[in-house]
């Protein structure tokens, strides 16, 4: 059991965060233990087919035999939603002794896999070379496995945070923690994480608690080290909806939203056109067209540019998405 002793200041500084790197590391558990993650079966199959075979041994070695992850590869987010590149920069700055310590902790009590043998070599040089190789590997993996899906993943995570924040606001810490997962308990200022291999207590000491939802986590996952500041990755709500196919677009929906005249204008504005030409094609007065164009421009659905004495209108990128759907 791992416990977090949280004082008043820690509870005041309890925040949610989204971690692209943390989500990436959780996804490696899916590759290693597919039976625990049936929801992501198709995603796993697609990713394994797309990865370079030479990358798989090292990626696999980043997950310990008990599915533990090295703490330096899951840094506590410094802001609500850091970019993947920002978190990777934090990892690149990890001291060699921390890299060596965290890799050992993730694989304890077994020795390192052969692909991590540089972590056992004397001096900082081999370890830092390994760190550079790991960062390059994680960037390749991110671009292949998560970046194409990240906008959708982030929406699921943001929805979870909105729900959890409401629980915290209306029911307090006890309501929040009891709803996060059955393995969590809260009593007398101590948050406990059951069914963990580690056995230690972390004192918040005013550092606050970071709660990080994950679509890939199957149970709460705190850092391995007792020295790490309080942080907890937990299974986010809505993961089952992540890979559902998008609903088929309804051709009449845009008309219901904007009305027939403005929808017709948007469909015509696939090419730049002036007001008079639009009016001629529609058989209405230029003033009637101008009135609709003003509304469409004010809502960001139409852009305009001057061409000599004329003003040309064209639908925006947002309108392009709407009309294409």
246 found inside a domain: no
260, 218: one domain: no
258, 236: one domain: no
65, 210: one domain: yes
248 found inside a domain: no
Q: How many domains does the chain have?
A: 2
153, 173: one domain: yes
Quick one: which H or E segment has residue 307? strand 302-307
Q: What's the predicted TM-score (pTM) here?
A: 0.76
151, 205: one domain: yes
Report the first-to-last Cα separation within the chain, whole angstroms: 50
Quick one: which H or E segment has residue 323? helix 317-324
Tokens 């809502």, residue? 299
Q: Which of 195, 214, 241 is the last residue of a domain?
A: 241
Tokens 């149970």, residue? 219
Res 317: pLDDT: 87
237, 273: one domain: no
295, 196: one domain: no
Q: How far apart are CA 1 and CA 192, in angstroms?
A: 7
* Domain coverage including residue 309: 253-324
Res 197: pLDDT: 84
Res 247: pLDDT: 58
Q: How far apart are CA 205 and CA 227, in angstroms?
A: 11
Res 309: pLDDT: 83
181, 59: one domain: yes
Res 19: pLDDT: 97
179 found inside a domain: yes
Res 77: pLDDT: 95
Q: Which of 187, 213, 241 is the last residue of a domain?
A: 241
Res 249: pLDDT: 56
Which CB contacts under 8 angstroms, 24+ apart, belong to 121-130? 124/96, 124/97, 127/96, 127/99, 127/100, 128/96, 128/99, 130/99
The answer to whether residues 167 and 81 touch, using CB atoms and an 8 Å cutoff, is no
230, 103: one domain: yes
Q: How far apart are CA 297 and CA 240, in angstroms?
A: 38
Q: How many residues does the chain have?
A: 325
Residues of the chain with pLDDT under 70: 246-251, 325
């Amino acid at each position: 059991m791992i416990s977090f002793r949280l004082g008043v200041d820690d509870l005041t500084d309890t925040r949610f965060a989204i971690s692209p790197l943390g989500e990436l590391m959780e996804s490696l558990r899916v590759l290693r233990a597919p039976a625990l993650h049936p929801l992501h079966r198709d995603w796993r199959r697609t990713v394994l087919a797309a990865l370079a075979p030479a990358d798989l041994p090292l990626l696999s070695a980043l997950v310990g035999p008990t599915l533990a992850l090295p703490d330096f590869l899951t840094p506590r987010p410094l802001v609500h939603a850091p970019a993947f590149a920002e978190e990777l920069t934090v990892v690149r700055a990890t001291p060699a002794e921390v890299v060596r310590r965290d890799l050992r902790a993730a694989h304890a009590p077994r020795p390192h896999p052969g692909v991590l043998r540089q972590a056992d070599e004397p001096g900082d040089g081999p370890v830092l070379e390994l760190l550079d190789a790991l960062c390059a590997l994680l960037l390749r993996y991110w671009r292949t496995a998560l970046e194409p899906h990240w906008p959708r993943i982030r929406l699921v995570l943001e929805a979870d945070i909105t729900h959890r924040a409401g629980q915290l606001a209306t029911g307090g810490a006890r309501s929040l923690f009891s709803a996060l997962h059955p393995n969590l308990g809260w009593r007398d200022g101590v948050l406990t994480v059951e069914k963990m291999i580690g056995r230690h207590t972390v004192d918040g000491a005013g550092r606050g608690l970071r709660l990080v939802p994950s679509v890939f986590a199957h149970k709460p996952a705190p850092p391995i080290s007792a020295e790490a500041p309080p942080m907890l990755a937990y299974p986010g709500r809505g993961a089952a909806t992540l890979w559902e196919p998008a609903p088929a677009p309804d051709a009449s929906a845009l008309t219901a939203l904007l009305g027939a005249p403005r929808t017709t204008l948007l469909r015509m504005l696939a090419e730049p056109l002036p007001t008079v030409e639009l009016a001629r094609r529609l058989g209405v007065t230029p003033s009637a067209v101008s009135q609709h164009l003003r509304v469409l421009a004010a809502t960001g659905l139409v852009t305009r540019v001057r061409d000599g004495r004329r003003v040309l209108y064209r639908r925006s990128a947002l309108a392009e998405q709407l009309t294409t759907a």
